[in-house]
């Protein structure tokens, strides 16, 4: 089937198998390997991307379902001129990652949260990332990183 999709503001047209998952389109067809494929059952959240500005687990979305839509991956967080998103900076500064496997999904979910709720409480942060599994950090530094990004963005105006 023919799929037409905009990924990180770039248009792509591909002929794909009807059963191809969005995560595989991104990784295997488009070479965007920042989106991690972890469980194939929507449990871990490592494959979270935005589909028409809404976070989805790309291991549960068929590529044909994304046809005609806009997808944003972790590669799309980078700002114009190569500047990192404040969340990426905060994850590094506050040790919000260890092995890094869950990080792309965490970043995409956290950016979605901060775009809608610029001053979230720790409870709101934990609720937002509740669909993401991290096996390394215990979540405390992830929450701290998201809070740091929110505070930094508010201070920057």
Q: Does residue 76 sit in helix, strand or coil?
A: helix
pLDDT confidence of residue 43: 86
Is the domain of 70 the same as that of 122? no
How many distinct structural domains can be found in the chain? 2
List pLDDT tens digits, range 49-66.
999 999 999 999 999 999
The per-residue pLDDT for range 20-46, each reduced to its tens digit, is 999 999 999 999 999 998 886 788 999
How confident is the prediction for the chain on average, in pLDDT? 94
Domain end among 77, 109, 142? 77
DSSP classification of residue 9: T
Query: Residue 157 pLDDT > 90, yes or no?
Result: no
5 - beta bridge partners?
12
Residues with Cβ within 8 Å of 92's Cβ and at least 6 positions away in sequence, in order, are none
Average pLDDT over residues 82-86: 91
Residue range 16-20: average pLDDT?
Answer: 97
Domain that holds residue 112: 80-156
Which pLDDT belongs to residue 40?
67
Residue, of 131 and 137, whose pLDDT is higher = 131
49 plus 89 within the same structural domain: no
- Apex 79 CA angle, 119 and 65, nearest 5: 85
Mean pLDDT calculated for residue range 4-23: 97
Asked whether residue 44 falls in the same domain as residue 28, the answer is yes
Q: What is the mean predicted confidence (pLDDT) over 14-24? A: 97
Query: Among residues 61, 77, 93, which one ends one of the domains?
Result: 77
Say whether both 61 and 93 belong to one domain. no
% of the chain with per-residue pLDDT over 70: 99
DSSP letters along 22-69, please? HHHIIIIIS--TTS----SSSSS-TTEEEETTEEEETTSSBGGGGTTS
Instruction: Report whether 133 contacts 44 (CB < 8 A).
Output: yes
The band of 153, judged by pLDDT with boundaries at 50, 70 and 90, is very high
Residues 102 and 143 in one domain: yes
The larger pLDDT score, comparing residue 62 to residue 78, is at 62
Q: Check if the beta carbon of residue 59 is closer than 8 Å to that of residue 124.
A: no
Instruction: Please state, in angstroms and rounded to a whole number, the distance separating the CA atoms of residues 138 and 70.
Output: 32
């Amino acid at each position: 089937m023919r799929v037409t999709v905009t990924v990180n503001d770039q248009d792509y047209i591909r002929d794909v198998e009807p059963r191809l998952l969005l995560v595989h389109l991104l990784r295997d067809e488009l070479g965007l390997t920042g989106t991690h494929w972890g469980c194939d059952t929507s449990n871990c959240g490592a494959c979270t991307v935005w589909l028409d500005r809404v976070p989805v687990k790309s291991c549960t979305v068929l590529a044909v379902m994304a046809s005609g839509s806009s997808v944003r991956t972790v590669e799309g967080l980078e700002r114009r001129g190569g500047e990192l998103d404040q969340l990426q900076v905060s994850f590094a500064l506050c040790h919000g990652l260890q092995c890094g496997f869950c990080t792309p999904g965490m970043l995409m979910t956290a950016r979605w949260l901060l775009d809608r709720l610029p001053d979230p409480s720790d409870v709101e942060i934990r609720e937002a990332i509740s669909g993401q599994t991290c096996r390394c950090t215990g979540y405390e530094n992830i929450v701290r990183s998201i809070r740091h990004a929110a505070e930094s963005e508010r201070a920057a105006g």
